[in-house]
Amino acid sequence: LAKTTQPISMDSYEGQEVNITCSHNNIATNDYITWYQQFPSQGPRFIIQGYKTKVTNEVASLFIPADRKSSTLSLPRVSLSDTAVYYCLVGGPQTGANNLFFGTGTRLTVIP
């Protein structure tokens, strides 16, 4: 089971770049790393996904080192609306559909 470990919470001021790191030491060869964002009383929402190196989209960047045992979600210039819980998820053919571990996520609070 590819479990993940993330910081429980982080605070940041508006306009700063935020980096949230996730540890996944047991990641399997074919596993992908996916990040989700969850606002209060809403379901998690897909942000970004990657397999190795760096992935960037209009919302965030994902950095994955060569050993793939961790990953870092980078949110550029956060605003108050980025206050949410962020989940790192690891999964692939070897992990199985019943072993998608969400954990407790990282609660990001953006301060004015």
Partner 1 sequence: EAQVTQNPRYLITVTGKKLTVTCSQNMNHEYMSWYRQDPGLGLRQIYYSMNVEVTDKGDVPEGYKVSRKEKRNFPLILESPSPNQTSLYFCASSTFQQGAYNSPLHFGNGTRLTVT
37 contacts 103 by C-beta, under 8 angstroms: no
User: Do 94 and 77 touch, CB atoms closer than 8 A?
Assistant: no
Of 16-24, 52-60, 67-75, 99-107: span binding partner 1 (CB under 8 A): 99-107
Q: Does 42 bind partner 1 (CB under 8 A)?
A: yes
Residue 82: phi, psi to the nearest 5? -85, -5
Kindly state whether residue 49 participates in binding partner 1, applying the rule CB under 8 A.
yes
Q: Using the rule CB under 8 A, give the single segment among 19-27, 55-63, 73-81, 86-94 that binds partner 1.
A: 86-94
Whose structure tokens read 């954990």? 103
State the greatest distance between any 2 C-alpha atoms of the chain, in Å, as a whole number. 43
**Residue 7 binding partner 1, by CB under 8 A:** no
Number of residues engaging partner 1 in binding (CB under 8 A): 24
Which residue(s) pair with 9 in the sheet? 107
The residues binding partner 1 (CB under 8 A) are: 32, 34, 36, 41-46, 49, 51, 87, 91-93, 95-98, 100, 102-105
